Chain A
Amino acid sequence: MSVKLVYRGKEHEAVPGSTLRDAVRKIGLQPETVLAVVEGKLVTDDTILREGMQVKLVAVISGGAQ
């Protein structure tokens, strides 16, 4: 079991024990540009990743504001 980060439908592995912020950086994303949802709830990026955790990363940039 490891930690799974899901971004735009693609799965990425992360190391348990690291912070979410570091894990996001490791997969090449800027922490400012995503929000993280765990078990349906928004979490802050200082969250320590635990074994088996599934994190959905939501992109915050949109391009179609009216």
Chain B
Amino acid sequence: MKCRKCGETAVINMRQHKLALCGEHYLEWLPEQVQRFIEKYEMFTHDDKILVAVSGGKDSLGLWDILTRLGYHADGLYIGLGIDGGFGYSDQSHVLAEQFAKANGLTLHAIEVEATYGATIPELAVISNRGHGKPCSVCGLSKRYIMNRAAHDGGYNVLATGHNLDDEVAVLMQNTLNWAGGYLVRQAPVLPASRPGLARKVKPLCRIYEREMAAYAIVRGIEYIYDECPHAIGSTTIGHKEILNQMEEKRPGAKLQFYLSFLQAKEQGLFALQLSEPELHACERCGQPTSAPGECSFCRMWDKVRTVKGLPERLPAAINQFAD
């Protein structure tokens, strides 16, 4: 197969776009697409200070690379979750994120959950007794909290994550199957910083296929963690991704169509009745926004853990490396 732009041998054929490209033109094309979506969804400009959540995987490292190539001010945030999985998953991820930052002269902030708060994510899941034996729910809660807090403490007004199209449609499928209106109304390329203390959250890869991101990392020579999080194996999200890929195989573009039709339906008011957002308060302990009066769920969860582990009651007032 030949590159549509120059006739050289293609390295990727994107059936959903009816487009095959060689390595050189692919490395030009993908950032152009990302830039197009950044502008279309008014995610950020070159004046914004962006914090990229970096996991060491292809999507987040690829995103960081693309934003840097596009000339944005983007620093990285790595959250050490303390997940081993028999092969040092978190340690390996950290090394790869550090290597990438060093090789490209970029700033990476690293926050180790255990060192900062007193327990690893798997420990937290057991002690807090949340998530039916799987750490995914406490992991999600912790990452959302720490990312927002780090953006706030570090003076970043935009928080960018590497969610790709496949991630988005898998979640969309899950929420549609459950008719989870509250979640559906909040699923978007941009979540504005509508309340004090909340960073604007953006997903610049929301229209980029997971396959395209993996190809970008390979062609660009980005070394990323190939193994999945050991706790994600067999997850509902991965199951949905497999089903969606079967649909894509039969009808190229099916995933993109599903996502774009959803965004369009939302714009036309399909979820208008769900629009009223709960009132947010400042958590009495940490000051982060929370929908419940009193303490936020992050602080309540860690209270229990710190009591069980005999740690001092107070959580850090700010994330150390940002506190002056």
A contacts, CB < 8 Å to B? 30-33, 35, 37, 41-46, 58-66
Number of interface residues of B (CB under 8 A): 44
Q: How far is the CA of A35 from the CA of B238 in the complex (A)?
A: 17
> A64 to B229, Cβ gap below 8 A?
yes
CB-based nearest B residue for A40: B218
User: Which residues of B sit under 8 angstroms from A59, Cβ to Cβ?
Assistant: 226
In the complex, given contacts A46-B13, A62-B228, A66-B55, what are 5 additional A-B residue pairs having Cβ atoms less than 8 angstroms apart?
Answer: A30-B245, A44-B11, A58-B218, A62-B58, A66-B161
Q: How far is the CA of A30 from the CA of B60 in the complex (A)?
A: 24
Q: How far is the CA of A65 from the CA of B248 in the complex (A)?
A: 21
> A63 to B228, Cβ gap below 8 A?
yes
> A35 to B241, Cβ gap below 8 A?
no
CB-based nearest A residue for B10: A44
B57: contacting residue among A35, A46, A65, CB under 8 A: A65
User: Which residues of A sit under 8 angstroms from B166, Cβ to Cβ?
Assistant: 61
CB-based nearest A residue for B77: A66
B163 on interface, CB distance cutoff 8 Å: yes
CB-based nearest A residue for B13: A44
> B241 to A61, Cβ gap below 8 A?
yes
A60: contacting residue among B13, B54, B211, B237, CB under 8 A: B211
B148 on interface, CB distance cutoff 8 Å: no
B20 on interface, CB distance cutoff 8 Å: yes
> A66 to B233, Cβ gap below 8 A?
no
A63: contacting residue among B60, B143, B163, B233, CB under 8 A: B233
B191 on interface, CB distance cutoff 8 Å: no
Q: How far is the CA of A66 from the CA of B238 in the complex (A)?
A: 14
Q: List 30 A-B contacts (CB under 8 A).
A: A30-B245, A30-B246, A30-B249, A32-B245, A33-B211, A35-B12, A37-B218, A41-B11, A42-B12, A42-B218, A42-B219, A44-B11, A44-B12, A44-B20, A46-B13, A60-B210, A60-B211, A61-B166, A61-B210, A61-B228, A61-B238, A61-B242, A61-B245, A63-B232, A63-B233, A63-B238, A64-B55, A64-B229, A66-B54, A66-B162
Q: How far is the CB of A57 from chain B (nearest CB, A)?
A: 11
User: Which residues of A sit under 8 angstroms from B60, Cβ to Cβ?
Assistant: 65-66
CB-based nearest B residue for A41: B11
A35: contacting residue among B163, B167, B211, B246, CB under 8 A: B211
Q: CB-CB contacts of B17-44 with A at 8 A, as 1s and 0s?
A: 0001001000000000000000000000
B288 on interface, CB distance cutoff 8 Å: no
> B210 to A44, Cβ gap below 8 A?
no
B53 on interface, CB distance cutoff 8 Å: yes
Q: How far is the CA of A31 from the CA of B79 in the complex (A)?
A: 33
> A66 to B79, Cβ gap below 8 A?
yes
User: Which residues of B sit under 8 angstroms from A44, Cβ to Cβ?
Assistant: 1, 10-13, 20
Q: CB-CB contacts of B194-233 with A at 8 A, as 1s and 0s?
A: 0000000000000000110111001100000010110011
CB-based nearest A residue for B23: A42
User: Which residues of B sit under 8 angstroms from A45, Cβ to Cβ?
Assistant: 13
CB-based nearest B residue for A43: B11
Interface set, chain B 43-80, CB cutoff 8 A to A:
53-55, 57-60, 79
Q: How far is the CB of A6 from chain B (nearest CB, A)?
A: 13
The answer to whether residues A32 and B79 also contact, given A65-B57, A66-B60 and a CB cut-off of 8 A, is no
